[in-house]
């Protein structure tokens, strides 16, 4: 057999990408977040990973690209290109349901889908369900939580403060 190494199935590539975690929220992978957009092979068999950066203010994107390179190389795929796609811009709506569940289990209220919550755009007060007890009797304590991407809320029922992953 003289055939060159076989390209792994895209599903296998997605599984590798699952191992790249958000540096701020280690339970979330770049797949959960919707940062990893596509796994493509060109006609010549060139592997391409398409990513969309999240918040432009988050310094993590360069690091994530490095991590993607490292992990693909570790898996015997040093020959790949990473394409950054800026349009359409990433929004929290791209976060997968699995990602939202993981976030909740981690104690952070997942972003509300913007389509459900148009009032946000007009400065309406949001009801964010508490990730610990599920009560939506909560209040915002601070617009900024542990990082700029999160807001700090407090549950008025179980009295626990929690982070809310802000919508974009
Ligand atoms: Zn609560």
Buried b (16+ CB within 10 A) or exposed e, 98-133: ebbebbbeeebbbbbeeeeeeeeeeeeebebbbbbe
| Beta-bridge partner residues of 81 | 48
- Listed in sequence order, the residues at least 6 apart from 46 whose beta carbon sits closer than 8 Å to its beta carbon are 79, 80, 81
- Cβ atoms < 10 Å from Cβ of 89: 12
Task: Determine the structural domain holding residue 53 and report its residue range.
Answer: 10-90
Mark whether 17 and 71 lie in a shared domain: yes
For residue 164, how far is its CA from the centre of ligand 1 (angstroms)? 13
Alpha helices in the chain (DSSP H): 10-17, 30-33, 60-74, 97-105
What confidence score (pLDDT) does residue 166 get? 82
Mark whether 61 and 113 lie in a shared domain: no
Domain presence at residue 140 = yes
Q: pTM of the entire structure?
A: 0.80
pLDDT digits 0-9 by tens, 88-129: 888 889 999 999 999 999 999 999 876 554 444 445 557 899
Domain presence at residue 103 = no
Mark whether 86 and 14 lie in a shared domain: yes
For residue 37, how far is its CA from the centre of ligand 1 (angstroms)? 34
Q: Domain tally for the chain?
A: 2
- pLDDT, one tens digit for every residue, the chain (168 residues): 444 567 899 999 999 999 999 877 889 999 999 999 999 999 989 999 999 987 655 566 778 899 999 999 999 999 999 999 988 888 889 999 999 999 999 999 999 876 554 444 445 557 899 999 999 999 999 988 777 778 999 999 999 999 999 876
Domain presence at residue 149 = yes
For residue 160, how far is its CA from the centre of ligand 1 (angstroms)? 6
Domain presence at residue 101 = no
Mark whether 78 and 14 lie in a shared domain: yes
Domain presence at residue 4 = no
Mark whether 144 and 81 lie in a shared domain: no
Mark whether 74 and 120 lie in a shared domain: no
């Amino acid at each position: 057999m003289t055939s060159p190494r076989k390209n792994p199935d895209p599903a296998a590539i997605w599984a590798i990408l699952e191992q790249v975690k958000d540096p701020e929220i280690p339970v979330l992978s770049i797949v959960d977040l919707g940062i990893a957009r596509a796994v493509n092979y060109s006609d010549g068999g060139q592997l391409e990973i398409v990513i969309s950066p999240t918040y432009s203010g988050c310094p993590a994107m360069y690091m994530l690209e490095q991590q993607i390179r490292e992990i693909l190389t570790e898996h015997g795929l040093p020959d790949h290109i990473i394409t950054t796609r800026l349009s359409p811009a990433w929004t929290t709506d791209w976060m997968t349901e699995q990602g939202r569940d993981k976030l909740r289990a981690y104690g952070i209220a997942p972003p509300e889908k913007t389509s459900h919550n148009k009032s946000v755009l007009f400065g309406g007060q949001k009801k964010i369900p508490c990730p610990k007890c599920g009560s939506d009797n909560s209040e915002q304590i601070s617009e900024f939580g542990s990082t700029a991407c999160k807001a700090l809320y407090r549950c008025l029922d179980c009295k626990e403060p929690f982070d809310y992953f802000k919508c974009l």
